[in-house]
Amino acid sequence: MAGRWRDWLGLNASTVALLGTILLVTAATELWSPLVPEYLKALRTRALVGNERIVLLIGLYGFYRDGLEAINYYIGGAIAGRFNTRRSLLFFNVLPLVGPLILATWDSVIAVFAAIPFIFVWDSIAGPAIITVVGESLSSDRRTMAFSLQAIFRRFSRILAYGISAPLVWYWGRINGVRFSAALAVVFVIGAILIQFRYMRTASRDTSRAIHQPLRMLRSLPAELKRLLAADVFARWAEGLAGPLVILFCVPILSGDPARGTALYASVLLTIQAVTNVVLYVVVGPLASREGFGKKPYIGVTFLFFALFPIALVVFGWTLGAAGLVLAFIVGGFREIGEPARKAMIADLVPQETRTQAIGLYWSVRSLSVMWASPVGALLWIVGNRVSEGAGPAFTFLAAGVVGLIGAVMFFNRFGRTARSTVGR
């Protein structure tokens, strides 16, 4: 019986090691990373910088982060494809130690931008190897369930992180609270390295090297994967336009005190979103893993909710206040309903001989396309405020909704006729 449960959940030594690593590294990042926009705002407010410059700085932060993700996805696919997944993941786990150490010891805007390459490196640089480990160690009909379990662990780690960081920010303020959270993140990452060193077994590498020919490899991707990528870019543009600025919109609605508003944002809104994610994964994961049951409808619904979340924020937030933000973040939680299915679909479609490199290229192209969204969102915010005081969020969030709807329509138009996925392509 226990063996059947392990098989159904896609559990073996390597996937369990991944779960432990994901739990700790994600918690280490989420302890403070969602609070960076307010942290930057607090630093610049202390230096008496104007509101428009703060918004532009946050837009630049999103641009910088997405650009680094594009580089890291590409490098991660190349390294893991060349040197094998086990060695690569162990090396990748060392990098997140540097960023929190910088933040914990230096409270400066320069420190934030110096730390970002190391702080957000793990999800992007390790992502291709993680998908390869699941693809290599599990059959096609078990992959969606494995990715669902990983997603659940990510959300549990976020709930844990928000429960720790919110009291720190509430008590110590936005600057010192984030710095203390960063120091604790170092401990979590060390634990992840120990788990992975002890239990990771899968050590596969690509049989063919093509990462030095990105255009050729991109052209060789299956047409269905290219269509998924195009729709994915529009959905992530919706996220990028609004994402870094969401906290600036929510904090004043939650509390007149910035530190308490930031703490409430983490402990209430982000936790509600993570809990919604977990509930959906528990329900949808088994359904999307059933033999012959289509992954594509869930992916399409995911793209639709990428469009609806920013619209819900501005509509519910302005009409219902804090209660409206709660409703909006429940809507935001639905953005992840098809994320495990999307990863499983990518694992099914990529060329097997260059699997890890192709996954890295897919995400790198997506991030390069999306990196411009954050500064555009910041400019829309500023233009909106100049047109009418306080209209900046409406300009940015409604534009994000329109872009997201384009991606959802594109996906359903291209995949609607073949809604049922063919397993094991």
State pLDDT tens for residues 183-195: 888 888 888 888 8
Query: What residues have CB less than 8 Å from 417, skipping those under 6 apart?
Result: none
Cα–Cα distances in angstroms (integers) from residue 19 to residues 22, 126, 146, 175, in the given order = 5, 13, 10, 31
What percentage of the chain reaches a pLDDT higher than 70? 79
What are the structure tokens assigned to 378, written together? 């910041």
Q: How many CA atoms lie within 13 A of 116 on its CB side?
A: 22
Q: Which region holds residue 424: left if phi is over 0, alpha if psi is between -120 and 50, else beta?
A: left
Give the model's pLDDT for residue 421: 43
Residue linked to tokens 């409808």:
297
Q: Assess whether pLDDT exceeds 90 at residue 238.
A: yes
Give the model's pLDDT for residue 48: 45
Distance from C-alpha of 30 to C-alpha of 362, rounded to nearest angstrom: 25
What three-state secondary structure class fits 66? helix
Give the model's pLDDT for residue 423: 38
Query: Which amino acid appears at position 12 of this protein?
Result: N
Residue linked to tokens 């005081």:
389
Q: Assess whether pLDDT exceeds 90 at residue 315.
A: yes
User: Mean pLDDT score of the chain, rounded to an integer?
Assistant: 81
What are the structure tokens assigned to 11, written together? 């559990």
Q: Assess whether pLDDT exceeds 80 at residue 337.
A: yes
Query: Which amino acid appears at position 158 of this protein?
Result: R
Distance from C-alpha of 119 to C-alpha of 368, rounded to nearest angstrom: 19
Q: Are the CB atoms for 202 and 28 separated by under 8 Å?
A: no
Q: Which of 16-30, 247-261, 364-378 is most confident?
A: 364-378
Burial of 176 (0-12, 13-18, 19+ CB in 10 A): middle
Distance from C-alpha of 401 to C-alpha of 24, rounded to nearest angstrom: 33
Domains and CATH numbers, the chain: 2-201+219-418 (1.20.1250.20)
State pLDDT tens for residues 34-86: 877 778 778 766 554 457 888 888 888 889 888 888 888 888 777 766 766 66
What are the structure tokens assigned to 193, written together? 């390295």
What three-state secondary structure class fits 12? coil
Query: What residues have CB less than 8 Å from 187, skipping those under 6 apart?
Result: none
Alpha helices in 31-83 (DSSP H): 36-46, 51-83
Q: 346 falls in which pLDDT band (50, 70, 90)?
A: confident
Count CB-CB contacts under 10 A for residue 190. 14
Going by C-alpha positions, the residue among 67, 73, 66, 62 that lies closest to residue 364 is 73
What are the structure tokens assigned to 111, written together? 């420190």
Looking at per-residue confidence, does 197 or 311 come out higher? 311
Q: 373 falls in which pLDDT band (50, 70, 90)?
A: very high
Alpha helices in 200-270 (DSSP H): 214-220, 223-242, 246-254, 258-264
Distance from C-alpha of 396 to C-alpha of 403, rounded to nearest angstrom: 11
Looking at per-residue confidence, does 145 or 66 come out higher? 66
Distance from C-alpha of 318 to C-alpha of 249, rounded to nearest angstrom: 10
Going by C-alpha positions, the residue among 8, 6, 4 that lies closest to residue 289 is 8
Give the model's pLDDT for residue 386: 92
What are the structure tokens assigned to 347, written together? 């694992």
Q: Which of 123-132, 175-184, 194-203, 387-396 is most confident?
A: 387-396
Query: What residues have CB less than 8 Å from 376, skipping those under 6 apart?
Result: 59, 241
Q: What is the pTM (predicted TM-score) of this model?
A: 0.79
